[in-house]
Amino acid sequence: MSLPVSVAYGTTRTTDEEAYKNVCEALEAGYRVINTCAAYGNEQGMGRAIRGAARDELTIVSLDSNTGRSSEDAEHFDGYQATERQINETLENLGVEYVDYFLINWPVPRYMENVWRKLNADSWRALEDFVDRGLIRHIGVSNFLPYHLEELKKTARLPIELNQLELHPTFQQRETVNYSRKHGMDIMAWSPLFKGRSVKIPEIIAMAERYGKTPAQVILRWHLQHKVVPVVCSSNRERMRSNLGALDFELSDEDMMAIDNLETGEHVEAYSYTRQQNSVK
């Protein structure tokens, strides 16, 4: 596994100033995997924060903004140029010579039957060229389902190394995770606590009491033992530090299985819409 198996820190829904403050605190707390996305609009703030850390100790994961690739005018959209522009902007905003991982953020929906394969392939080709130039070290995707991955592999020159997915106890995406792992991809989890809903599950609460841990720490530990890197986004300093408490204990096989059995299919509403659209034949 190339991606360090640890708790990652994310910068979603924050301003530049908030991202600067939060990332500084995250680095001080001990986070070394940082996740960002151009769509968040706060890369400059994050860039200021990471300048105070040793670059070779950080793993920076960045996603494109997906602007235009899924729009009604996508048929006339240049996926290569848009992705190239996005990567250059990210490098400039962060003030770094390279990013460790750059991901295509959301596949073009399959209902856009005339262009979805080409646009995904064009964006991937741009990522490959930046790897050749040494400006990106690893490349991957976010929210790609098996059929997206299968099609992308047909034209890909370099391997898909990472798939970032919505993952939590009630939505485990086993088919996609298994497919991704079978083809050599590491897994990251966005919304690993299901926007705080998972910590209210009675079985998780009881388990946390037995371990002397918080429900969030139990869930994050479950991710880590499945070799999934969870991305947490708390701006609360104490919670930020508490989340790293997932690193110092281990769940039993029985408890891992108990959490595995919490699958219900319940997931984030926005993802439901995109997934439904992508499923159109």
The secondary structure of residue 1, as a DSSP letter, is -
With H, G, I as helix, E, B as strand and everything else as coil, classify residue 191: coil
Is residue 40 part of the annotated active site? The answer reads: yes
CA dist 272 to 144, 266, 267, Å? 14, 9, 7
The whole-angstrom separation of Cα 68 and Cα 266 is 29
Element spanning 128, H or E? helix 116-132
End-to-end CA distance of the chain: give it in Å, rounded. Answer: 34
160, 140 contact by CB (below 8 A): yes
The whole-angstrom separation of Cα 218 and Cα 220 is 6
Element spanning 231, H or E? strand 228-232
Q: Which long-range contacts (C-beta less than 8 Å, at least 24 apart) are formed by 160-163?
A: 160/184, 160/185, 161/2, 161/101, 161/185, 161/186, 162/2, 162/3, 162/61, 162/101, 162/103, 162/138, 162/186, 162/187, 162/188, 163/187, 163/188
For residue 15, which phi and psi values (nearest 5 degrees)? -80, 175
The secondary structure of residue 108, as a DSSP letter, is P
Give every CB contact of residue 210 below 8 A, 6+ residues apart in sequence.
Answer: none
Which of 9, 40, 101, 179 is an active site residue? 40
Measured over the CA atoms of residue 93, residue 80, residue 65 and residue 74, the dihedral's sign is positive
Active site residues: 40
